């Protein structure tokens, strides 16, 4: 996905558009549909049946034993004196082989201290608060050991994974951003010529190999896909698409929409965030990410971006299309293969921890090369097209308007 601290996330123009079977296998290992990653939404046949959200990580109530009268339980289900209930639990996400519990989200708990519900304060989001609010400290716990720029749990609640349903497996296809309870903004190259009923959107995801987060993720089928009429699948001009979902996501702290920019918004030189589960570097040695990653990037002005890209194999006559925006150019910090469709979000001036979508990961030349930015669909320049489609779907602008 993103390149972080020596690991770069970048999307090649051609690599974005194709996915070989070996990559499918890699992604299937991450976004598995087995017991370890069961969603709060059960998908059976063509129906989506949403389970009632719970705070427990084990529907069966069975936990791993870690000693006499002790069990490994989610940290927020133990009254152990070393664990607070202020929402500021500190969890080291690095693997500790000496820990009595296999999962870093678990704690070895005396049975007398085990609870069925959490005391960790988790509140329903204030609908009147609006779109685009980041949770910079996460929800329910805060991580340490994030040496590869792992995001906090629910830090970017608009981030979604777009999955392709195949042979009873959900295979990771691209990223996207929630802009309304039942609408996702993504790249056209991710869903071009795809059948809507083959695509599943997962919101509220964080660690793709566990279902032990304090708030579960949810899955929804796609009802309709629209992408820009002038989308060019070769050059990726107008690389934008909207997904209408069969039903709305639950409004909870790890599932919230991002704001959209106003038409003509300029983000030059601003430092913004890109997020995703894509590869940590380009090429066969890159690995898809298990925990959602984030990378902060500067937006590069168009003329500078075009000039820098002309120094690559694109050549001195390359012209950067008006539907693109550029970000990055710092060594080892970028988006990469598998991050297509993921959002680039920039701060809303004068509002703390609030963001709007500036870009959609589209393509790049390598990943994390110095002075070579990643290229994103320019959401502000495509805003009128987005508004036109949302109006047809009768989506209330309150969901995505700051």
Give the DSSP H/E element, type plus range, for residue 245: strand 241-245
Four-CA torsion 180, 186, 192, 198, nearest 10 degrees: -60
Q: 3-state DSSP call for residue 184?
A: strand
In the predicted structure, residue 99 carries a pLDDT above the cut 90: no
What is the per-residue DSSP string for 18-65? ---HHHHHHHHHHS--SGGG--SEEEETTEEEEPPP-S-S-SS---EE
CA pair distance 198, 184, nearest whole angstrom:
15
User: Which comes out higher in pLDDT, residue 113 or 160?
Assistant: 160
For residue 315, the model assigns a pLDDT of: 96
Q: CA-to-CA distance for 299 and 374, rounded, in angstroms?
A: 10
How confident is the model at residue 335, as a pLDDT?
Answer: 72
Confidence category of residue 59, pLDDT binned at 50, 70, 90: very low
| CATH fold label, 143-399 | Thrombin, subunit H (2.40.10)
Q: Each residue of 237-283: pLDDT tens digit?
A: 999 999 999 999 999 999 999 999 999 999 999 999 999 987 544 44
Q: Helix (H, G, I), strand (E, B), or coil: what is residue 128?
A: helix
pLDDT band at 368 (very low <50, low <70, confident <90, very high): confident
Q: What is the pLDDT of residues 187-211, one digit of tens each?
A: 999 999 999 999 999 999 998 888 8
Per-residue confidence (pLDDT) for residue 395, from 0 to 100: 98
Task: Determine the pLDDT at residue 190.
Answer: 95
* Mean of per-residue pLDDT scores for the chain: 78
What integer is the mean pLDDT of 290-310?
95
* Radius of gyration over every alpha carbon of the chain, rounded to an integer in angstroms: 21
Q: State residue 356 phi and psi, 5-degree precision.
A: -130, 155
pLDDT tier for residue 13 given thresholds of 50, 70 and 90: very low
Q: How many CB atoms lie within 10 A of CB 127?
A: 10
State pTM to two decimals.
0.76
pLDDT confidence bin for 116, thresholds 50/70/90: low
Q: Where are the domains of the chain?
A: 65-113, 143-399
Residue 351 has pLDDT above 70, yes or no: yes
How much of the chain exceeds pLDDT 70, in percent? 69
pLDDT > 90? residue 56: no
State the pLDDT confidence band at 117, using cuts at 50, 70 and 90: low
Task: Say which range, 9-13, 75-79, 121-125, 269-273, has the weakest mean pLDDT.
Answer: 9-13
Rounded to the nearest 5°, which phi and psi values hold at 182? -130, 25
pLDDT digits (tens, 9 = 90+) for 306-346: 999 999 999 999 999 999 999 999 987 767 655 789 999 99
From the number of C-beta atoms within 10 Å of its C-beta (0-12, 13-18, 19+), residue 75 rates as buried
* Cβ neighbour number for residue 36 with a 10 Å cutoff: 12
Q: pLDDT band for 119, please (50, 70, 90 cuts).
A: low
Give Dmax (Cα) for the chain.
72
Do residues 175 and 342 make contact, with C-beta atoms less than 8 angstroms apart? Answer: yes
């Amino acid at each position: 996905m993103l390149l972080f601290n020596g690991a770069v996330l970048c999307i090649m123009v051609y690599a974005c558009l194709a996915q070989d079977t070996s990559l499918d296998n890699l992604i299937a290992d991450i976004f598995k549909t087995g017991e370890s990653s069961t969603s709060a939404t059960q998908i059976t046949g063509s129906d989506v049946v949403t389970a009632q959200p719970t705070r427990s990580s084990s529907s069966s109530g069975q936990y791993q034993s870690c000693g006499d009268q002790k069990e490994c339980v989610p940290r927020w289900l133990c009254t152990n004196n070393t664990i607070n209930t202020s929402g500021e639990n500190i969890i080291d996400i690095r693997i500790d082989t000496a820990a009595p519990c296999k999962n870093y989200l678990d704690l070895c708990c005396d049975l007398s201290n085990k609870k069925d519900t959490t005391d960790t304060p988790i509140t329903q989001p204030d609908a009147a608060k609006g779109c685009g609010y980041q949770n910079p400290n996460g929800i329910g716990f805060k991580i340490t050991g994030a040496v590869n720029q792992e995001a906090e749990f629910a830090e970017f609640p608009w981030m979604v994974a777009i999955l392709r349903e195949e042979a009873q497996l959900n295979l990771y296809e691209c990223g996207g951003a929630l802009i309304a309870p039942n609408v996702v903004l993504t790249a056209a190259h991710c869903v071009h010529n795809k059948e809507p009923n083959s695509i599943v959107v997962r919101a509220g995801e964080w660690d793709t190999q566990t279902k032990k987060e304090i708030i579960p993720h949810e899955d929804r089928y796609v009802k309709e896909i629209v992408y820009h009429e002038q989308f060019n699948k070769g050059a990726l001009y107008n690389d934008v698409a909207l997904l209408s979902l069969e039903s709305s996501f639950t409004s909870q702290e790890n599932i919230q929409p991002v704001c959209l920019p106003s038409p003509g918004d300029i983000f030059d030189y601003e430092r913004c965030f890109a997020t995703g589960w894509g590869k940590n570097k380009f090429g066969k040695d890159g690995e898809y990410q298990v925990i959602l990653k984030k990378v902060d990037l500067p937006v590069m002005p168009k003329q500078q971006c075009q000039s820098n890209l002309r120094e690559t194999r694109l050549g001195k006559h390359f012209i950067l299309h008006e539907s693109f925006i550029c970000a990055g150019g710092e060594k080892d910090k970028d988006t990469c293969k598998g991050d297509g469709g993921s959002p680039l979000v920039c701060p809303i001036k004068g509002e703390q921890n609030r963001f709007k979508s500036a870009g959609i990961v589209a393509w790049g030349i390598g990943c994390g090369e110095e002075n070579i930015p990643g290229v994103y669909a320019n959401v502000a320049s495509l805003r009128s097209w987005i508004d036109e489609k949302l109006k047809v779907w009768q989506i209330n602008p309150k969901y995505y308007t700051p």
